[in-house]
Structure 1
Amino acid sequence: MSIGENIKQIRERNGLTQKELGDILGVSDKAVSTWERGEKIPRMGTIQKIANYFNTAAGTLIGEEGARHGVHSDTVYTLTTREIRLVESPASGSDFISSA
């Protein structure tokens, strides 16, 4: 199942509307709707919030679709803004080593 299908299933199983889940997460019901229809994928932080709220693992929500996109639930890291810039910018090996 896709991430969106998993979100919809767990939301409905717990008797929440899209609006109620959106309010819990601080997003609109339209955002929840786009996830459930597979038009967009929520950010990893949002996936973690959903998992925490429903007391489940983020990997349960990510499921097969996440694996196809290279997202592995057992390998989720939190990076600082500085670390993200280091990963995104083409730096020489010495630059990376000295800034780590």
Structure 2
Amino acid sequence: MIDNNKAGQNILNLRKGLSLTQTELSSLVGVSHQAVSKWEQGDCLPDIGVLLKLGQVFGKSVEELLLGDSVSGGSASDKIVSPPIELPDEVWTEALDHIQTRISPPSFNTWFKGTKGRQLGETYCVYSPSRFAAEWLYHRYSDLIVPVLEDITGTSGLKVEFCSTGVWDINRKD
């Protein structure tokens, strides 16, 4: 039988490990912040569709979320493998400053908080804390990110890849 309190504690640890608020996590998976609070308190469990989304956000299986097989003993940030480069760089810091003025604060905090970037040769890599967030940035914000990076770097036709920390080449925007 699944222990609601243990599952809730796992979700709490993973959320805090990614430095997300309950509101930010709720936005990522399409539920209310109250629902996240109820999970974390052990009052109930997420629906299966939401569990799948949580798994994408945290890079965990449903089993790991519910049973804590590889969650116990640390936070999510302890489990994420960093890319083999030093992040962030000045270009990404400047890009974030520009992007922050063009979107709402809740959207910026949800999707851009915790991101990093680095130019590697002719490609600029945007790193997100999870695969789900990287895919969201690619699908929803690449039309904003790419021109900002091109303007800052002075590079026309810059190749941009959206990656989750430790996972290479999720999506490419040429």
TM-score normalised according to structure 1 size: 0.60
Deviation at 1:54, TM superposition (A): 1.4
Indicate the percent of aligned positions where both proteins have the same amino acid: 36
Deviation at 1:18, TM superposition (A): 0.2
Match of 1:33 among 34, 37, 41: 37
Match of 1:17 among 21, 43, 61: 21
Q: Which one has the bigger strand percentage?
A: 2
Whether 1:52 and 2:50 are equivalent positions in the alignment is no
Q: After the TM superposition, which residues 1-100 of structure 1 pair with which residues of structure 2 at under 5 Å, given as runs?
A: 2-63=6-67
Measure, in 2, the Cα distance between the counterparts of 1:54 and 1:37: 19
Counterpart residue identity of residue 46, structure 2: P
Measure, in 1, the Cα distance between the counterparts of 2:34 and 2:10: 17
Q: Report the aligned-residue RMSD.
A: 1.4
Residue 46 of structure 2 aligns to a residue whose secondary structure is coil
Measure, in 1, the Cα distance between the counterparts of 2:60 and 2:44: 21
Q: Structure 1: which 4+ aligned runs deviate by more than 4 Å? A: none
Measure, in 1, the Cα distance between the counterparts of 2:45 and 2:58: 18
Unaligned runs of 5+ in 1: 65-100
Deviation at 1:48, TM superposition (A): 1.1
Deviation at 1:33, TM superposition (A): 0.1
Residue 31 of structure 2 aligns to a residue whose secondary structure is coil
TM-score normalised according to structure 2 size: 0.35
Q: C-alpha deviations, 1:31-90, integer Å up to 9, x for none? A: 1000000111111111111011111111110106xxxxxxxxxxxxxxxxxxxxxxxxxx
Who is 1:79 aligned against? none
Deviation at 1:12, TM superposition (A): 0.3
Number of equivalent positions? 64
Q: Which one has the bigger helix percentage?
A: 1
